[in-house]
Amino acid sequence: MRRLVAAWFIALFSATLVAQSQTPTTIPEMWNAWCARCHAKDGTGKVPVPTVKVQPMDFSNCKLTSSEPDADWQTAITHGGPGVGLSSEMPAFGDALSQAQISEFIALIRGFCKEPGWPAGNFNLPRPMFTEKAFPEDEFIIQPVSSHVKDTPAAVSLAAIYERRIGKRAQLETVLPFASVSSGTRETGLGDIELGMKYALTPRATRYLASVGFDVVVPTGSESKGLGGGKVFYEPYFAAATIAGSTYLQGQFKIEMPHGGPWADREVLYNVYAGRDLSIFPDTWTVGVEFNGENEEVALTPQVRRGLTRTGALAAAFGVRLPVNHREEQGIRWVGYLLWEFLEPVRPRR
C-alpha cells in the first residue's frame, strides 16, 4: 500500500513537472514559447527557421520600439497585424490573453530596447493645429490656412513642414510657407522660412513629456508685398504633453522676438490642446479643441483628425480658429493638415 501511494505521488509529481514544462505561466515564458518562434527570444525577429514571410520588426531597435503609444501595441497584439495595418501573419491574441497580460507583453517588448533615454511613445500624441508637439517626430506635413478678416480679402497660405528626428531626443524642423495675400492687389509667393530645433527634456518621465525648442524665422518673404515680416525672429518655446484618463493634453508657450528689436516688440504665444480618440480600432477619429493665445488675443480651435491608414502613417485634420476676443482683428481661420509619418509603412485601408 505504501508503495502504491509513493508511486501515485511520483506519478502526480512527474505529471505536474511535464505540465509545467509545457504550459508557460509567466509572460517571459509565454514570450519564449509562443512569440519567440517568429520574433526571436531577443526580440530581433531573427530566428533559425523562419515560418513567416514578412520579417518581424526588430524590437531591439529603440527608435521603432519606443516611438508609438501603448494603445497601438495593444491593438496589434489583440487584433493581430491587420489591426494596425501590418502583416496578417501576426495573429490575434485577444481571445487567448487578457488585456492585463497584453499590457505585460508590451512592457516586455519595450524592454528589448536596451538604451535608456528614449522618450516614451505614449506621449506621441495626435498633432494639434497650432500647438507644437513635445514629442520629437519624423513627419512631413502640408498645412493650408485660410484667413478671413472682416472687410479684408482672404489670405491663404500653404506650409510644407519637414520634421526629422535626430538621435533619441532631438528634432530638426523646416517650414516652407507659400502665401497669397491681398491689400489692394493680390500677391502670391514664398513666405518666411522657419528653421527649428526641439529637444526632449524628460525622456525618463512616465507621466508627461516636456521639451524645449528654438525656431528662427528668416525673412525670405517680401515684406512690401505682405508676404513676410521683414526681420529675423528668434522664437524659443516650451512644450509639454500628458494624458489625463483618456484625454490628451498638450501645451506650448512661445516667445517671438525680432532680431535687434526692442523687448517690447516681442510676441507671446500660448496654446493648450485637449483631445481624445473616439475609436481605436479599426480606425481612429480624434476630436479636440485648442485654446490659442497671442498676446492679449485669444481664440478657440475645435478640430477633428482621422488616420487615413491603419498604420497611422497618413492622417488628415481639419479645424477652424474662432476668435474669443478682438474678433474683428483676428477674424476666422480655416486650417487643416495632411500628415505623413514617413518611417511608418503606408498601407491602404481595406
Q: Which residues bind other proteins (CB under 8 A)?
A: 22-23, 30, 33-34, 37-38, 49, 51-52, 80-82, 88-93, 95-97, 350
Interhelix angle 70-79/99-110, nearest 10 degrees: 120
User: Cβ of residue 77: shortest distance to other proteins, in angstroms?
Assistant: 9
- For the bound state, the minimum distance from the C-beta of residue 43 to other proteins, rounded and expressed in Å, comes to 16
Nearer to other proteins, 38 or 170 (CB): 38
> How near is the Cβ of 242 to other proteins at its closest, in Å?
34
**Number of neighbours of residue 198 by Cβ within 10 angstroms:** 25
For other proteins, the closer of residues 34 and 342 by Cβ is: 34
Identity of the residue, 90 or 200, whose beta carbon is nearer to other proteins in the bound complex = 90
CA distance 177 to 147: 14
- Give the shortest CB-116-to-other proteins separation in angstroms: 31
Shorter beta-carbon distance to other proteins: residue 91 or 229? 91
Please state the closest distance from residue 90 (CB atom) to other proteins, in A. Answer: 7
Tell which phi-psi region holds residue 86, choosing left (phi > 0), alpha (psi between -120 and 50) or beta. beta
As a whole number of angstroms, the distance between CA 120 and CA 123 comes to 6
With a CB cutoff of 8 Å and minimum separation 6, the contacts of 72 are: 84, 121, 312
∠ at Cα 203 (198, 205), nearest 5°? 130
User: Which one, 97 or 175, has the nearer CB to other proteins?
Assistant: 97
Cα gap 23→3, rounded to integer Å? 30
